Amino acid sequence: MKLLFITSTRIGDAVLSTGLLDHIIRSTQGVRVTVACGPAAAGLFEAVPGLERLHVLRKGPWARHWRGLWRACVTTRWDVIVDLRMSAVSWLVSAKRRHVYRAAGSREHKVVQMARVLGVSPPPAPRIWLGADNQARAESVLPPRGTPLLALGPVANWVTKTWPAGHFVELARRLTAPGGPLPGAPIVLLGGPGEREAIPPLRAALSDLTVLDLVGEGSLLDAQAVLERCALFVGNDSGLMHMAAASGIPTLGLFGPSPDHLYGPWGPKTALVRTPQSFEEIMPPGTDPASVAPVMHTLTVDAVEQAALRLWERHR
C-alpha cells in the first residue's frame, strides 16, 4: 500500500500527528510511506518504517511549495492519502481513498481531532521512531545508564510563552537538591539551534551543578533519543514538550498564552500547569499576539514545583 501523509510545518503539530501515522503503519502490512511536511518538522520522520520519500514543503510565493508537492505526487497512484493540511493536492492526484482533516473550531485536543480523520478510537498516542545512530549519539553524550537526568526545555518559539530563566534555575535547584525527587541529578538543557542565545545566563546561574548543554546539538531524533533517557521533563509549551511526552517520560508543560485544552502534552505520564490567568483572559478573541504582555512570570516556582512533584509521585 502506498500512503501519502501530509502533515504540519510546526514541530509540535507534526509530533501530535505521528500517532495517526503509527496507527496506519501498525495496521497495514507492507505500507510504503511518503511524508510531506515543513522543513522544521522534517527530521522527525527520518526513521519512519517503510519510508520511501520525505518531501519537504519549503514555502514560496504563489503556493510554489504545493505545486512542487503536486508535481512529485501526480504520477503516482496512491492507495491512501491522509491530508492534515487541507491542501488541494490531495484532490488533484489519483487516490483510492482520501482522509482530509477539517478544522471545525473544536475545543477537543488536537490528537483527538486528528484521530477523527480516520475514525480511530481511542486516539492513537504520538510516536517518534529512532535509528540506531540516534541512540548511539545519545549514549555518547549522556552519563551511564541508570543515572537519573532532569531535562529542561527553557525556550519556546514565542518569547511570551517562555517561563523566566530565573524560575527555571530555582526549579532545577529544588528538584535536584538533596531532599528533592532527583537529588544530584545532572540537568540536561534541550532546544533548537536558534535558541542558543537564551542559554548562557541559565548555564551561568547553574555553574555549580552538573549541566549538559545540548541546545542546538544534533538532530531532532538525537534530541528524542536523549529525552528517552531522562527521568523527568519540565518545559514551555513547545515542540520539544510534545517530543518529551511522546518519549514516554513524565512530562510537565508550562502554559500561559496558548490553549492547553488543544495543545497540552498528550499521554498517561503528562501534566500541565498554567498561569493564574486562563488562555481566554490572556488572549480574548481578536487579540493581536504581538500586543500580548508577558504573563509567564505570574506562574510561580512553587506552583510548578508542586505540579512536578505530583507528576513524579504518580509515575516515578
Task: Give tens-digit pLDDT for 185-238.
Answer: 999 999 988 888 889 999 999 999 999 999 999 999 999 999 999 999 999 999
How far is Cα 106 from Cα 123, in angstroms, rounded to an integer? 15
176 Cβ contact partners less than 8 Å away, ≥ 6 residues apart = 150, 182, 183, 184, 185, 187, 209
The overall pTM is greater than 0.85: yes
Give the Cα separation of 268 and 277 in Å (integer): 25
Instruction: Please give the pLDDT value at position 41.
Output: 97
pLDDT at 129 over 80: yes
Local confidence band at 286 (pLDDT 50, 70, 90 cut-offs): confident
Tell me what pLDDT residue 267 has: 96
CA–CA separation, 33 vs 24, rounded Å?
10
In the CATH hierarchy, which fold is given to the domain comprising 2-118? Rossmann fold (3.40.50)
User: What angle is formed at CA 7 by the lines to CA 230 and CA 65, rounded to 5 degrees?
Assistant: 125
Q: What is the pLDDT of residue 63?
A: 78
Q: Please give the pLDDT value at position 243.
A: 98
Give mean pLDDT, residues 104-118.
Answer: 91
Instruction: Give the whole-angstrom CA distance, residue 114 versus residue 91.
Output: 19
132-315 falls under which CATH superfamily? Glycogen Phosphorylase B; (3.40.50.2000)
SS3 60: coil
Q: Where exactly does CATH 3.40.50.2000 map onto the chain? A: 2-118, 132-315
Per-residue pLDDT at 194:
83
